[in-house]
């Protein structure tokens, strides 16, 4: 199995088992808005669980990528952005500039775009940036994890929430993956 496959498997399990994610779903089910800070904290818990399962250490990196999972011979750089609108100015270039074996961008599209085309429009724009920049910065894999904005868009239970994943490998070929 590849590092990407291991990351996705651990991410799915951590997301489904996260108490903080569960709390956000409870708040959302009552018709209340889950704030960005609370959601980012929940995703931090998810990434801590991923790191534990994979045997990595994890640290938050202010001014760089949001999270770095690392062990002696490998690292994973993760950018988490609650709104996909700004990722091309800051998050994606920062992520692609980071040396890591796997670079992961976690972000969200509108419920309409998610259901209409699984975030394909965003994936095409990300691919253009990846192709332009990755050749200058090494040959690590890039993974895009997409979900929907909160509100009524969310599933009733985090265990049934679909994530759409796109992976670019060393040959810069996009591969669409569905994590269920």
Query: What pLDDT was estimated at residue 180?
Result: 47
CA 29 to chain centroid, in Å, comes to 23
Q: pLDDT band for 134, please (50, 70, 90 cuts).
A: low
Angstrom distances, CA of residue 7 to CA of 30, 121, 150: 32, 24, 23
Say if pTM beats, i.e. exceeds, 0.85: yes
Domain residue ranges of the chain, discontinuous segments joined by +? 3-179
Percentage of the chain exceeding pLDDT 90: 36
Q: pLDDT band for 58, please (50, 70, 90 cuts).
A: very high
Residue range 103-107: mean pLDDT, rounded? 92
Q: What is the DSSP string of 17-59?
A: H-HHHHHHHHHHHTTPPPPHHHHHHHHHHHHHHHHHHHT-EEE
Angstrom distances, CA of residue 5 to CA of 45, 102, 103, 159, 179: 20, 11, 13, 18, 10
pLDDT of 123 over the 90 cut = no
Query: What pLDDT was estimated at residue 50?
Result: 98
- Nearest alpha carbon to residue 102 among 16, 8, 13: 8
Query: What pLDDT was estimated at residue 52?
Result: 97
C-alpha radius of gyration, the chain, whole number: 15
Q: Are 129 and 137 in contact (CB under 8 A)?
A: no
Residue range 29-43: mean pLDDT, rounded? 87
Reported as a single tens digit per residue, the pLDDT across 75-84 is: 999 999 988 8
Burial readout 19-40 (b: 16 or more C-beta within 10 A, e: otherwise): eebbebbebbeeeeebeeeebe
Residue range 50-68: mean pLDDT, rounded? 91
């Amino acid at each position: 199995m590849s590092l990407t496959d291991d990351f996705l498997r651990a991410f799915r399990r951590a997301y489904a088992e996260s108490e903080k994610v569960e709390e956000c779903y409870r708040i959302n089910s009552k018709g209340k808005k889950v704030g960005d800070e609370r959601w980012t904290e929940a995703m931090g818990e998810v990434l801590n669980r991923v790191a534990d399962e994979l045997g990595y250490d994890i640290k938050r990196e202010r001014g760089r990528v949001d999270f770095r999972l690392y062990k002696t011979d490998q690292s994973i750089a993760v950018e988490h952005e609650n709104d996909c609108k700004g990722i091309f100015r800051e998050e994606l270039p920062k992520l692609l500039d980071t040396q890591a074996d796997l670079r992961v961008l976690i972000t969200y599209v509108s419920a309409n775009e998610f259901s209409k085309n699984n975030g394909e429009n965003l994936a095409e724009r990300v691919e253009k940036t990846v192709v332009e920049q990755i050749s200058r910065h090494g040959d690590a894999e890039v993974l895009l994890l997409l979900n929907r904005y909160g509100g009524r868009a969310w599933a009733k239970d985090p265990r049934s929430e679909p994530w759409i994943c796109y992976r670019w490998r060393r040959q810069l070929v996009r591969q669409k993956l569905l994590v269920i």
